[in-house]
Amino acid sequence: MQKKALGRGLEALLPEKFLDTPGSALIEEIELDRIIPNRYQPRQSASGGFDEEGLKELAASIKAKGVVEPVLVRKLGGDQYELIAGERRWRAAGLAGQTRIPAIVKEANGSDPLEIALIENLLRKDLNPMEEGRAYQRLIQEFHLTQDEIARGVGKDRSSVANCLRLLNLPEPIQADLLADRITLGHAKTILSLQRVSDQIRVGRQIVENQLSVRETENLVRRLGKTSKDRRPVSPQTAEMAQVQEQLCYRLGTKVRLVGRPNRGQVVVEFYTAEDLDRIVDIILH
């Protein structure tokens, strides 16, 4: 099996702690069919998040120059390896007719591959905003990272991370539209300014059906906002209840309302599909 010294490209991409290994790290030439995709792949769009034209362009480059930057894998049982980072290069190498690919073999525990894959994907410019928000959420929930730590890790300011996390408060139908690129991040931010979930879904449907621009959406939301103020009941909610409500919305990824007073009331959790209900129940019970 051919081996060569570790290049700098991957070191610049991934956090240092994931590449720290005893002695000198080496690159192995591994057969493509011995590598399987990462089961924790954060990309969630129907195409797997990889543009076909982009893959063809990368395949052409690989055919001409070879794979410049190695992929990162971990050893499984037998002679199999699991991708941790570099699935796009692995797929393009196959399209280019390559049978082997340079790879760094990393000793990783059960959680490391997910964290590495999430961070690698978050560093890429073509990640969908909804995928980005959900990846941030997983880093917070499963690795207990703060928004500041995530921001430093991916080279963004904290407000950018916070804005992506706010997308998780959108109703599931709106999240699905954003994930499928039927609406833009600008549309989503505008929809978030609406208080009523029914209004949010209504506006989202109109954006898709009528191909509304962000400016047109802002005008529509402004009109709905004025109407909503006239019909919105006065809430006796305290600042503490409002904070709890916001935390529940973030944790459950849906609209949550606390109705009543601090010593008595109801927690209203909204869902929009059977799958959405299953997801919420799973979060509550676990």
Query: For the chain, how are helix, strand and coil distributed in percent, rounded to 5?
Result: 55, 15, 30
The model's confidence at residue 132, banded by pLDDT at 50, 70 and 90, is: confident
| 108/133 Cα distance (integer angstroms) | 25
Average pLDDT over residues 49-61: 80
- Interhelix angle 112-122/147-154, rounded to 10 degrees, is 60
Which class for 193: exposed (0-12), middle (13-18), buried (19 or more C-beta within 10 A)? Answer: middle
Task: State residue 226's pLDDT score.
Answer: 67
pLDDT tens-digit series, residues 63-110:
888 888 888 888 887 888 888 778 888 989 998 999 999 988 876 555
Q: 3-110: which CATH topology?
A: 3.90.1530
The model's confidence at residue 166, banded by pLDDT at 50, 70 and 90, is: very high
Judge whether 87 counts as a catalytic residue. Answer: yes
129 near 188, Cβ under 8 Å?
yes
Task: State residue 10's pLDDT score.
Answer: 34
- Residue of 53, 82, 87, 107 marked active site: 87
Q: What are phi and psi of 25, to 5 degrees?
A: -75, 135
| 214/142 Cα distance (integer angstroms) | 34
Position 280 pLDDT exceeds 70: yes
- The structural domains of the chain, with segments of one domain joined by +, span 3-110, 170-232, 239-285
Task: State residue 261's pLDDT score.
Answer: 78
**Of 228 and 246, which is predicted with more confidence?**
246
Position 255 pLDDT exceeds 70: yes
pTM for this model (two decimals): 0.50
